[in-house]
Amino acid sequence: MFVNLEALSSPSLLVGKGLGDGETMSLMGIDVGTTGCKVVAFDESGAVLAQAGREYPLLSPNPGWYELDPNQVWSFVCECLREVNARIRRDPATALAISSQGEAMTPLTRDGQVLANSPVSSDRRNAKQTAEMEAALGAERIFALTGQPMSTIYTLPKVLWWRDHAPEIIERAWKFLCYVDFVAFKLGVEPVIDYSMAARTLAFDVNTLDWSDELLAAAGLRRDQMAKARPSGEIIGEIPPKLARELGFSGSVKVVTGGHDQPAGALGAGVLTPGTAMYAIGTTEALVAVTERPRPEMLAYNVSCYPHAAPGQFIALSGNQTGGRLLRWYRDELAAAERAIAEERDRDVYDVIVEQIDDAPGDLILLPYFVGSGALHNDPRATGLIIGLSFDSKRADIVRAILEGLTYEQALCIRVLNDIGVEINQITAIGGGSRSERWMQMKADITNLPISIIHTSEAASLGAAMLAGCATGAYGGIAEAAEQLIKLRKTFYPRADRVVHYQRQLTIFADLYAALRPIYAAMSADA
């Protein structure tokens, strides 16, 4: 969901050398997601000066395959850069950083030729390779090295699929780049990956903060085929002048290491201390909380633990891969009437979809496992379910069940995180879904926690811009940047009467997976 945010007016303090009277500098965050990219320019106070977004198709050439065309993604990033730069000529960007989806990786030749599309997190073609890797190394050993519970979502099992089905890709590849280092490379600088993104490959040792030779060997990769790994917030180069002009930049632009979109979003939401958490509501749904380094009990609940985009810190991550793609599925398959209304009234179709529900809790319960269960159960065999349907059920009831079901899953994640010592008592929501106040109030009621929203839903881009600003001296550090850039807009508090209803429904929701687990296994065996 892409909307233009009104720029917040504020006096600028960063006056650039050689700029005309009244001209100021801006900081830019590029966010490359699973289904779309965004470029946002901020002033030094966090006000959005301009933003642009593009939605690209998630390709599915076979059942269970989900991939992106890296050339198409880069083309759309360029369009967004040109559009934003055209609107900030009096506030030219001087530095940028990149956040992106995790796991998706692109194999490249030395001259930049893309050798294959990049399978995204939810791509499940590598189930066999995932099981083989777990059997060979052990889930405990993999978690001890990487802080990641073994799953089909990670990069290394996807590379193992190429090894088995397209070995020429591994043989020809100069580099395997995730989207943060891929975009940096396309911007003309040396491909460098930050620690938080490197951790999502399942090839990075979070204890030594370096690539693991043991894990790389398991996939048949060489260390030199990976980008250099560095902390978030370091200058890694400057966009060459000719390319900068082609992309609409007005002068020299520093490129700074960014982060995986979830910790980058947590940084942009000000999640820097224990007890606070970010709730990302986008293509996927995720919870990010500040914690210490990986502990064995996290593995039992499939909680990831790896470096934060705030240097020197770690985060715990739990989430669901279905996320906002479920609303996109509803839009494409069931929302003909809502699409017609949106087109007639020139409105965002997602706003029209969500506005059809009232404030009352629903009776339908939906399991949001359209691409497996995600965290907690970590079951790629799990599928979606709606229970409670009758002839009285309306489209609005299905929409409400989608919104509630996604939130029930995160409420269970919060419960588990608290049980294993990752305390959460205050949540900040980010992403496109955080623009819906109705949904935010529902989430506060279901989680029984206060949920705040900030002045922009594009917190991952803001987190990237914070890193760019810190690296280039605009701020004295992350804490100072957070104080200046992050503005709380509203807090939603749980309502006692709704909490009682939702806690009862949450118990039923939690029991559903346990009841269906043998059925999922049987369905998978038949397939």
Opening angle at CA 91, ends 86 and 95, nearest 5: 95
Average pLDDT, the chain: 92
Residue 15's pLDDT is: 35
Most distant CA pair in the chain, distance: 71
User: What is the per-residue pLDDT across 190-216, written as a single tens digit (0 to 9) for each?
Assistant: 999 999 999 999 999 999 999 999 999
The pLDDT of residue 4 is above 60: no
Q: How confident is the model at residue 375 (pLDDT cuts 50, 70, 90)?
A: confident
Residue 457's pLDDT is: 80
The pLDDT of residue 317 is above 60: yes
Residue 526's pLDDT is: 56
Residue 192's pLDDT is: 97
Opening angle at CA 195, ends 194 and 197, nearest 5: 70
Helix axis angle, 459-471 to 478-485, nearest 10°: 130
Element (H, E) at 290: strand 285-291
User: What is the per-residue pLDDT across 71-120, written as a single tens digit (0 to 9) for each?
Assistant: 999 999 999 999 999 999 999 999 999 999 999 999 999 999 999 999 99
Least confident of 244-253, 334-343, 504-513, 518-527: 518-527
Q: How confident is the model at residue 23 (pLDDT cuts 50, 70, 90)?
A: low
Provide the 3-class DSSP secondary structure of residue 12.
coil
Burial classification of residue 511, based on how many CB atoms lie within 10 Å of its CB (0-12 exposed, 13-18 middle, 19 or more buried): exposed
Q: Please tell me the distance from the alpha carbon of residue 304 to that of residue 319, in angstroms, as a whole number.
A: 10
Mean pLDDT of 302-308: 95
What are the structure tokens assigned to 314, written together? 């770690």
Burial classification of residue 209, based on how many CB atoms lie within 10 Å of its CB (0-12 exposed, 13-18 middle, 19 or more buried): middle
- Show the DSSP H helices in 362-473 as ranges: 395-419, 437-447, 459-471
Q: Please tell me the distance from the alpha carbon of residue 235 to that of residue 210, in angstroms, as a whole number.
A: 19
Burial classification of residue 23, based on how many CB atoms lie within 10 Å of its CB (0-12 exposed, 13-18 middle, 19 or more buried): middle
Q: How confident is the model at residue 319 (pLDDT cuts 50, 70, 90)?
A: confident
- Show the DSSP H helices in 347-386 as ranges: 349-355
The pLDDT of residue 346 is above 50: yes
Q: Please tell me the distance from the alpha carbon of residue 103 to that of residue 106, in angstroms, as a whole number.
A: 10
User: What is the per-residue pLDDT across 131-150, written as a single tens digit (0 to 9) for each?
Assistant: 999 999 999 999 999 999 99
The pLDDT of residue 58 is above 70: yes
Q: Residue written as tokens 């497996």?
A: 372
Q: Please tell me the distance from the alpha carbon of residue 3 to that of residue 183, in angstroms, as a whole number.
A: 23
Let me know: does 367 contact 512? Beta carbons within 8 Å.
yes
Mean pLDDT of 317-337: 91
User: What is the per-residue pLDDT across 255-271, written as a single tens digit (0 to 9) for each?
Assistant: 999 999 999 999 999 99
What is the rounded (10 degree) CA torsion for 89, 90, 91, 94?
A: 60
User: What is the per-residue pLDDT across 397-440, written as a single tens digit (0 to 9) for each?
Assistant: 999 999 999 999 999 999 999 999 999 999 999 988 898 999 99
What are the structure tokens assigned to 82, written together? 């040109």
Mean pLDDT of 511-524: 92
Mean pLDDT of 14-23: 42
Q: Which residues contact 370 (CB under 8 A, 6 or more apart)?
A: 322, 325, 326, 329, 383, 384
The pLDDT of residue 8 is above 50: no
Residue 230's pLDDT is: 97
Q: How confident is the model at residue 527 (pLDDT cuts 50, 70, 90)?
A: low
Provide the 3-class DSSP secondary structure of residue 95.
strand
Residue 10's pLDDT is: 29
The pLDDT of residue 124 is above 50: yes
**DSSP 8-state class, residue 477:** S
171 to 117, 239, 460: CA distances (angstroms): 16, 30, 35
Provide the 3-class DSSP secondary structure of residue 264.
helix
**DSSP 8-state class, residue 6:** P
Mean pLDDT of 337-357: 93
Let me know: does 34 contact 283? Beta carbons within 8 Å.
yes
Residue 12's pLDDT is: 31
